[in-house]
Amino acid sequence: MVTDQPKILVVDDEPSNRGLLAEVLKDDYKVILAKSGEMALSLASRHRPDIVLLDVVMPDMDGYQVLRTLKSQDETRHIPVIFISALDSVADEEKGLLLGAVDYITKPFHAPIVRARVRNHVEAVSHRRLLERLALVDALTEIPNRRRLEQALQLRWPPGQYLSVILLDVDHFKLYNDHYGHSGGDRVLRQVAGAVQKTLKRETDLVARYGGEEFVLFLPHTNAEGGRVCAELARSAVENLLIPHEKSLVGPFLSVSLGGTSVLLPPGGIVPTLVMEQSDQQLYLAKQLGRNRVCWAA
């Protein structure tokens, strides 16, 4: 069974309509069926479908109310909605589109038209998601970029949990660039990014390129002890690459310096801005003490 098929949520109070649409779409999509507006909202929140096919006239909660609710919730506001309705006046179609539907199909519908319109909107969704992913990835190293890190910093995390942030800087990178050339410097940044990323084992952990030769490790649910371990693993991983650095003032091979801090998240779960500042101070201290080391905020 194909597990990565796009998901289509079909919402109609008439069993025959649900069955017919399911039959039309089942070969290309995973079809989820809802017989009421309340059921549709619950399934949309749970499954996050790629497209919603929504009837307008339904008891209790009509399609317009369902659409308004979907658009009012963060987790469902971006799901495209196509109305399929027996209401075929220009005013009805205009109302649906003005509320935020991406398309309006009148009943009785024709199967080829439904398939074509759904396919077009699914492709648009896929294209948008690809652009969103690319916007959050550093083009050189192919790891998350600063924008993705800032998103993580702005999320609400479970309060009362520890969170650690580590700043990592490649030692004497300018000297490396000057000696080996910018293509060599680019190659090294990709190697460092890959080595550090491999040290992180949890889905919630994040390493991002912060800018230039600086990287950030963002570690939710991690106290100071765990953060230091992760920082040392990252430092060792780069050191073990044994990349020659003839101009380094630290040693014969490329190395990195790291500064980190941990914080107990306050009520609300917002990451305090001082976390980045304290980690930057510790990174500066690591450089002052000779580089190729980890320093941690008390």
Alpha helices in the chain (DSSP H): 15-25, 37-47, 63-72, 90-99, 111-135, 146-154, 173-180, 182-199, 224-239, 274-288
Dihedrals phi, psi of 101, to nearest 5 degrees: -65, 145
DSSP 3-state of 88: coil
**Residue among 142, 203, 213, 246 flagged as catalytic:** 213
What CA–CA distance (Å, rounded) separates 295 from 298? 9
- CA distances (Å), 170 to each of 43, 144, 163, 205, 289, in order? 47, 18, 23, 20, 15
Question: Is 213 an annotated catalytic residue?
Answer: yes
Which amino acid is residue 43, in one-letter code? L
- Residue in this structure with the two tokens 């300018």, named with its chain if needed: 174
Quote the distance between the C-alpha of residue 214 and its chain's center.
21
Encoding tokens for residue 244? 């020659």
Neighbours of 53 (CB within 10 A): 28
Sheet holding 103-106, edge to edge: 30-34, 7-11, 51-54, 81-85, 103-106
Residues annotated as catalytic are: 213
